[in-house]
């Protein structure tokens, strides 16, 4: 049986400790821990986590390594991220956000989940990201909140 590969950004991890988002972030983490879903995280997110509070840094360690896939930024991700910026899907000021989207696309995650409504989980932007993906030979990327994938 195919286990969904869920690309998570740091907002999902931090959401485990935020009153507004903790219910859904923690339920998603439970599914990762139980092996119902595979968590995919990029080295971009692990760099972001290095600057976070200890409890947020340690949250990702709860997921057994067999259910956690760490992917690395590469030239394809950087090139696709730049195409999102050139197309004005997102400003170049939000490098990490655009790299998350490109990484989830390049590594063919089933869905990218985030609580970032301004730059990631935003219908207008999602349409633009997917237009760029299709024009460049990539698949569309599903972008949702943790609540929507549970």
Q: Note the pLDDT tens digit of each residue in 88-138.
A: 999 999 999 999 999 999 999 999 999 999 999 999 999 999 999 999 999
Q: pLDDT at residue 69 above 90?
A: yes
Domain 5-149 in CATH 3.40.50.1010: yes
| pLDDT score for 1 | 81
Q: Assign 81 a pLDDT band (cuts: 50, 70, 90).
A: very high
> What does the pLDDT average to over 1-27?
97
Q: How far is CA 133 from the centre of its chain?
A: 16
Helices 75-86 & 123-135 angle (0-180, nearest 10): 120
| pLDDT score for 38 | 98
In angstroms, rounded to a whole number, what is the distance separating the alpha carbons of residues 58 and 80? 30
User: Tokens in use for 140?
Assistant: 């569309």
Domain boundaries, the chain: 5-149
pLDDT in tens, 20-65: 999 999 999 999 999 999 999 999 999 999 999 999 999 999 999 9
> pTM value?
0.96
| pLDDT score for 19 | 97
């Amino acid at each position: 049986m195919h286990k969904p590969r869920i690309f998570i950004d740091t907002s999902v991890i931090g959401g485990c400790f935020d009153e507004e988002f903790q219910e859904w972030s923690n339920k998603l983490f439970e599914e990762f821990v139980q092996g119902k879903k595979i968590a995919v995280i990029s080295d971009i997110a692990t760099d972001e986590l290095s600057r976070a509070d200890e409890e947020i840094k340690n949250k990702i360690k709860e997921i057994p390594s067999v259910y956690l896939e760490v992917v690395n930024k590469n030239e394809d991700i950087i090139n696709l991220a730049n195409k999102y910026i050139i197309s004005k899907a997102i400003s170049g000021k939000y490098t990490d956000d655009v790299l998350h989207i490109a990484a989830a696309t390049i590594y063919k995650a089933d869905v990218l989940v985030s609580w970032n409504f301004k730059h990631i989980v935003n219908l207008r932007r999602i349409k633009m990201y997917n237009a760029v993906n299709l024009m460049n030979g990539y698949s569309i990327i599903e972008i949702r909140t943790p609540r929507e994938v549970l």
